[in-house]
Structure 1
Amino acid sequence: MLNKMATPAARRVAQERNIDLWTVRGTGAGGYIQEADVLAHRGQKATFVARAAARYLEIPLEQICASAPDGVIRKNDVLAAKGTASGGKRIPVNGMRRTIAAKMRESLSVSAQYTLMGEADCGALQKKMKEFSGRCMERVGIKPTYSDFFIRAAALALKENRMLNSRFMEDHILIHEDINIGLAVSLGERGLIVPNIKNADRKTLGEIVQMRAELVKRAREGRLEPDDYAGGTFSISNFGRSAVRFFTPIINQPESAVLGIGNMVERPVVREGAIEARPQLGLSLTIDHRHIDGTTGEKFLRDFSELIEHPERME
């Protein structure tokens, strides 16, 4: 092997792999060859942490597959390979899951997100649901859900807080005229998708019930059209009946806000000086702080809560 400027580690790796250093392109100062250059020569690009982890776990880099599109092996790839070597289970990342992962990472990287949390009393909403369910079943044969009320309340609250129904465009802010509310629909292990109800502020509660039921049905059957999930301006992520009260939902780009709905559970509250159990709904509003101030987000959350506590205003 001919002599060429290279680090000791690069020489050692080149010797182990029988690589001629004169065929390796050095990326160091003055063309100095580094260990990474030798590894890259055989397609084994890896971060420093990944190489260190592979050495510690005694896993040859040749046995590790890079999950990132750039082909660079990272720490998580090494750990995944370790799981396989020790009998662990590897789950392939399908197209939908890969898309979701990319969108979630992109969302956090392009916007300044933070979450406001609050609660809404649902005593009146529970009574309204019982009364409305009977009428809805008689008229359209579809059982309404609390999500229908949440969509309606969000649409009305957005009419009074238009900044949350916007898009940040670097040199200007675009306030959408239409209010298209997206509802995150879980598809189990396949991931989730967010179809949206167009012009939700112009729809009656009964119309929202029918549209929501149809969209959820077609989403789970894989029959959504591109227009069903394109053009959303605001999203709702509803955990429904679960142990979750508050969380930090991630904005569905290029939207500017997302409302997380937690569980509805009875909690002790003070009313007129007395403590009583009341059904409380956990609310988590994530907003883009680049153009939405905390006071604006709080105002939306307050307006939404007041509609939930006075559901007669939604009909």
Structure 2
Amino acid sequence: MATEVLMPKMGLTMTEGTIEEWKKKEGDAVRAGEILFSVATDKLTNDVEADTDGETVECKTIIAWIGAQGEAIPAASSSSADPSAAAPAAPAATSEAPQATAQTVERAPGGFVLATPYARKLAKEKGYDLSRVPATGPKGTVVARDVESFTAGPKTSPMAAKLAAELGVDLTGLDADGRVMKADVLAAAGKAVAEMRNVPVGVQGSNDEAPKKVDPLRRSIAANMTASWLTSPRVTYTRPVDATAMKELRAKLKDGVKERGIKLTYNHILMKVVAKALTEFPDINSSFADNLLTHHPHVNIGLAVAKGTGLIVPNVKSAEAKSLADIAQETEGLIAATREGKVSMEDMTGGTFTISSLGPYGITNFSPIINQPELAILGVCDMVDTPVVRDGEIVIRPMMNLCLTADHRVVDGVMASKFLQRICELLENPYMLLV
């Protein structure tokens, strides 16, 4: 009996994957445990077991069948997440009986639809979402003539269709490269917002190069940032901090931890301090959805890491319960794994707060975008020797701006200010971490 191969779902946030390379071609013998294909998610590329080339499909969609030589491919079944993606069977004449009028059937976008095998084949070829096709067959069955007479917009994934309905995006005029995906809908929604605000979205010049499709990582970043921009009413609060004590702390500890093979950085100290502060502000170490606030029992701090032309955010789990040395060692391991493309999906999910540091690039002020579904993100800026007044005298101090972007649905100005103030207190007097 033939066995279906599905696009795997590698992590709670993964909705689609792109097949990068097929290790097996049609007709090849397949043994258990052999690698069938490599699939790229929004952040990782993994070797899996399956069959096509460079096509992005929804998770749990049938993408191949494994069976005995000469065995017939099964027709679509209701157990598939996307029945229209399965290989078609021959059309059944009895299913195409005329029906006077189309039946109105309430269906969720991308959900299972009662349809003849031939109708599924036509819908797949045309790139139609069967859930949008009116049915004229018996008991609300979509038949071939329904698909042939259906007028639709561009080819659209079920997730994109659902999101377009929620955001009010018109798919008929959407200019997409091939099938319309979730990222295309989010980009269109962002463009619409920009146009309403009279913000220029780009000028096409005669000498411009032809546009190129971006890689899955950049598409994911674009989609996630657009979603965050549309979800969270955000405010950024900036506060200077005297980094003298933090520099002294690192100078006193770095040689001792170096003997243990640990490289101590300012980011590690910041992560330890922020973890402590978040235990005192549980509303910030939370997520908010459907008017429900969820307090997370542990502080999982993510650190934005550059990889190629994008950013990936692995996170240190339960940072509030770990020593500075443990945080430093685990963070450096995650950074190395990220840049080598070996970081796991578990390391990149479950974060409750993110730190983004642009200090090494000379940035002194910026507004980081919240990493959903978190409620805040801390931007860390460059340390700059600055004249300040201490005890009535002008002295030079290494001053550093901290920029906290917070979701104003939960974190109002007073809470954000107190949280940022607490972080600065701990950085300027790190011995308070021992209290």
User: Normalising TM by the smaller chain, what interval?
Assistant: 0.7 to 0.9
**Which one-letter code corresponds to 1:141 in the other structure?**
G
**Which one-letter code corresponds to 2:252 in the other structure?**
E
In the alignment of these two chains, the number of paired residues is 251
Shift of 1:240: 2.5
Aligned partners of 2:262 and 2:325 also within 8 Å:
no
- Could you say which residue in structure 1 is the equivalent of 2:245? 124
After superposition, give the CA deviation of every residue in 1:141-160 in whole Å (9 maximum; x if it has no partner): 12111100010010000011
Which of 270, 286, 299 aligns to 1:179? It is: 299
| Structure (1/2) with the larger helix percentage | 1
Residue 96 (1) aligns with residue 223 (2): no
Which of 296, 306, 312 aligns to 2:431? It is: 312
Q: Distance in 2 between matches of 1:42 and 1:238?
A: 43
Q: Tell me, what secondary structure is at the counterpart of 1:241? A: helix
After superposition, give the CA deviation of every residue in 1:32-84 in whole Å (9 maximum; x if it has no partner): xxxxxxxx9997xxxxxxxxxxxxxxxxxxxx9645646999899x967x45x
Q: Distance in 2 between matches of 1:274 and 1:89?
A: 59
Which of 351, 354, 361 aligns to 1:235? It is: 354
Q: Distance in 2 between matches of 1:144 and 1:90?
A: 43
Alignment of 1:160-179 (within 5 A): 160-179=280-299
The alpha-carbon distance between structure 1 residues 115 and 217, as it changes in their structure 2 partners (threshold 3 A), is same
Which of 117, 135, 153 aligns to 2:256? It is: 135
Q: Distance in 1 between matches of 2:208 and 2:358?
A: 34
Shift of 1:90: 3.9
After superposition, give the CA deviation of every residue in 1:161-209 in whole Å (9 maximum; x if it has no partner): 11110111222211111110000001132x1100000000000000001
| The 10-residue stretch of structure 1 (125-134 or 198-207) with the greater mean CA deviation from structure 2 | 125-134
Aligned partners of 1:161 and 1:299 also within 8 Å:
no
Q: Distance in 2 between matches of 1:288 and 1:79?
A: 29
**Which one-letter code corresponds to 1:284 in the other structure?**
C
Q: Distance in 1 between matches of 2:333 and 2:272?
A: 16
Q: Distance in 2 between matches of 1:185 and 1:41?
A: 41
Q: Tell me, what secondary structure is at the counterpart of 2:283? A: helix
**Which one-letter code corresponds to 2:269 in the other structure?**
F
Q: Tell me, what secondary structure is at the counterpart of 1:231? A: coil
Which of 136, 142, 145 aligns to 2:265? It is: 145
Aligned partners of 2:263 and 2:329 also within 8 Å:
no
Q: Distance in 2 between matches of 1:238 and 1:176?
A: 24
What stretches of structure 1 of length at least 5 have no aligned partner? 1-39, 44-63
Residue 217 (1) aligns with residue 336 (2): yes
Q: Distance in 1 between matches of 2:370 and 2:283?
A: 15
Q: Distance in 2 between matches of 1:158 and 1:243?
A: 27
Q: Distance in 2 between matches of 1:90 and 1:304?
A: 44
Q: Tell me, what secondary structure is at the counterpart of 2:235? A: strand
Q: Tell me, what secondary structure is at the counterpart of 2:356? A: strand
Q: Tell me, what secondary structure is at the counterpart of 1:290? A: coil
Q: Distance in 1 between matches of 2:400 and 2:210?
A: 38
Aligned partners of 2:278 and 2:284 also within 8 Å:
yes
What stretches of structure 2 of length at least 5 have no aligned partner? 1-150, 155-173
- Could you say which residue in structure 2 is the equivalent of 1:301? 420
- Could you say which residue in structure 2 is the equivalent of 1:264? 383
Name the TM-score, length of structure 2 as normaliser. Answer: 0.54
**Which one-letter code corresponds to 1:260 in the other structure?**
G
Shift of 1:274: 1.0
Aligned partners of 1:252 and 1:258 also within 8 Å:
yes
Q: Tell me, what secondary structure is at the counterpart of 1:173? A: strand
Q: Distance in 2 between matches of 1:301 and 1:93?
A: 36
Shift of 1:257: 0.5
Which of 279, 299, 302 aligns to 1:159? It is: 279
The alpha-carbon distance between structure 1 residues 104 and 87, as it changes in their structure 2 partners (threshold 3 A), is closer
Q: Distance in 2 between matches of 1:41 and 1:95?
A: 27
Q: Tell me, what secondary structure is at the counterpart of 2:228? A: helix
Shift of 1:268: 1.1
More relative contact order, 1 or 2 (CA 8 Å, 6+ apart): 1
Aligned partners of 1:167 and 1:255 also within 8 Å:
yes
- Could you say which residue in structure 2 is the equivalent of 1:226? 345
